Each structure stands twice: as structure tokens, then as C-alpha cells.
Amino acid sequence: MKRIVCALTVAVLPLSAFAADALNGTVWKTVDDKTKQPKALVKFTENSDGSLSGTIQKVIDPQAKTKTVCDICEGRYKNKSLVGAKIVTGLKKVSDGQYANGSIIDPESGKTYKFKANLSKDGKVLSGRGFIGVSALGRDQTWYRVN
């Protein structure tokens, strides 16, 4: 009986790796949609409910103008370091490569927006859109996979 349980465990464990979402564990370089300059590295993790969160791992700014503290953010991130800030929450996969129903905090304005994203077929580009109300009233950002 023990051999059967061990054999089944060994056979099923590799399958759990395929169950994880394609964004889970990936790191992305965010790029400012206006200046086209890199802003931060964001890592996605999958939550117990299957949704995804994105946390700032590092602030990047070649011109040293990016803030490292969110002094205009509302709520729990007010006057806190941007490193470690969970800026994307509740993002859920709706179909292959498409995500919706999330929210994103913009550290430049301190506002929270609805968020949806599309992952390119090669998995190297994430096209996101933050918006209020309807998607047409928003703005796009393109993020690039680091790992």
C-alpha cells in the first residue's frame, strides 16, 4: 500500500507545477507609458484563491527621479516604501493569456484603478490597462519579462 501511495505521489507532483498560472513567480520591468523609462521590477505571485498579486521588488530609475516612498498613496501604502508594495491585486485569468478583474495602484498619483492585462504568446510582454469604470477611460502600459 505504501508503494502505491508513493508512486501516486511521485506521479502527481509534477502535474501541480503545470497548475500554476503562467504569471506566477515571474518578474516584470515596468515602463512609464509617457516617458518610456523603466520604473520598477514587479513580481507576480499566485494567491490561495487563484488570483494574482504583483509586488514591487525594486525601484529602477536611470534619471533618479522616481520616488521610493509613496507619499501621496492612500490607505496602507501612505508614506511607505514602494519596495514591497503590492501594487497589483485580485488579477484573475479569464482565458489563455488574458487577465481581468484586478486593481493597480499608481504610485505617481496615489490612485487605485481597475486593471486588466494580456500576456503575449511568447510570454515576454505583458500589456496592461488601468482604468476607472470602463476600459475606454484608461491608459496602457507595456511591461517586459525579466526572468
DSSP letters, 74-136, are: -GGGTTEESTT-EEEEEEEEEETTEEEEEEEEETTTTEEEEEEEEE-TTSSEEEEEEESSSTT
Q: Give residue for cell 477611460.
A: 137
Number of domains in the chain: 1
Instruction: Tell me whether residue 135 is in a domain.
Output: yes
| pLDDT per residue as tens digits for the range 60-96 | 866 555 567 877 777 777 888 888 989 999 999 999 9
Instruction: Tell me whether residue 4 is in a domain.
Output: no
Instruction: Tell me whether residue 10 is in a domain.
Output: no
| pLDDT per residue as tens digits for the range 8-66 | 444 444 443 445 689 999 999 998 878 888 989 999 999 999 999 999 999 886 655 55
Domain of 104, in residue numbers: 20-145
Query: Quick one: 137 exposed, middle or buried, by C-beta within 10 A (0-12, 13-18, 19+)?
Result: exposed
Domain CATH for 80: 2.40.128.520
| pLDDT per residue as tens digits for the range 106-146 | 877 778 899 999 999 999 999 999 999 878 888 899 999 99
Whole-model pTM: value is 0.80
